[in-house]
Each structure stands twice: as structure tokens, then as C-alpha cells.
């Protein structure tokens, strides 16, 4: 019986402003083996450099601090990159909807919901 190879992303950029959250998301992605490479960065300049390499399939970010800017940058220069916004801010859902991400997840995020979002993007 032939085993079907699971789909996975080439590169995921975790760009939350909180490194602890980036580390948790990294572990979830590693455990599920849904990305070949996972890059974490809390720094906007670094995030733009990574995006300019042209290999990022998915950007995961919050909306606090520089999140809105990196989403706009990604949409303008890398429209093929999928965007996942994770935020718990009061008006974040309205703002996220206006930015048209591929996925919006309200914090706190469960592992199941995070992985389901990624699996949905792979379809």
C-alpha cells in the first residue's frame, strides 16, 4: 500500500510581538510537521527581510505594535503569502476583517484551533 505524502508549507514566519507566543506556535507547527522551515521574529525590519526572500508561504502575526504594518507590507508586496492574524484585542476582529486575512483567530488560541487553521490553508 502506497503511503500518501502529507502536504506542508515551505516556510512559515511567526511574527507575533511576544516571543513566548511565537515559541508556542513553533512547537505546534513542529509537532504536526506542517512546515519545512519555521522562522520567528519580533522585529519588523527582520520580518521584512525574511519576506523579501520570497519563500514565506504563511505569515502569522498579531495586531498589536507592528502587526498591522507587516500585514499591509505583505499584502502589497507578497500577495500570494497567506496571512493568519491571532489577536485578543477588543476591536481586533473588526480590524482584522477589514484587512482580509486568510484566517483570523481570537486569542487565547487552543492548539486544536491553531492547527485546524493551518490544515485549512493547505487545502
What CATH number is associated with residue 68? Answer: 3.40.50.2300
Residue 1 within a domain: no
* Predicted structure pTM score: 0.89
Number of structural domains (the chain) is 1
The residue assigned the cell 520580518 is 47
The pLDDT confidence band at residue 4, using thresholds 50, 70 and 90, is low
Confidence (pLDDT) at 98: 64
| Domain residue limits at 54 | 9-122
Question: How far is 107 from 88, CA to CA, in rounded Å?
Answer: 4
Confidence (pLDDT) at 40: 97
- In 3D, which of 115, 119, 80, 84 has the Cα closest to residue 99? 84
Residue 78: strand, helix, or coil = coil
Q: Residue 7, class by beta-carbon neighbours within 10 Å (0-12 exposed, 13-18 middle, 19+ buried)?
A: exposed
Amino acid at each position: 500500500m502506497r503511503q500518501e505524502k502529507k502536504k506542508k508549507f515551505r516556510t512559515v514566519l511567526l511574527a507575533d510581538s511576544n516571543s513566548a507566543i511565537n515559541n508556542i506556535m513553533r512547537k505546534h507547527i513542529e509537532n504536526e510537521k506542517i512546515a519545512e522551515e519555521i522562522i520567528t521574529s519580533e522585529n519588523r525590519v527582520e520580518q521584512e527581510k525574511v519576506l523579501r526572500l520570497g519563500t514565506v508561504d504563511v505569515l502569522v502575526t498579531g495586531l498589536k505594535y507592528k502587526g498591522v504594518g507587516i500585514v499591509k507590507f505583505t499584502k502589497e508586496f507578497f500577495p500570494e503569502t497567506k496571512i493568519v492574524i491571532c489577536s485578543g484585542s477588543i476591536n481586533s476582529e473588526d480590524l482584522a476583517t477589514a484587512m482580509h486575512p486568510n484566517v483570523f483567530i481570537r486569542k487565547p488560541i487552543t492548539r486544536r484551533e491553531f492547527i485546524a487553521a493551518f490544515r485549512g490553508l493547505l487545502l
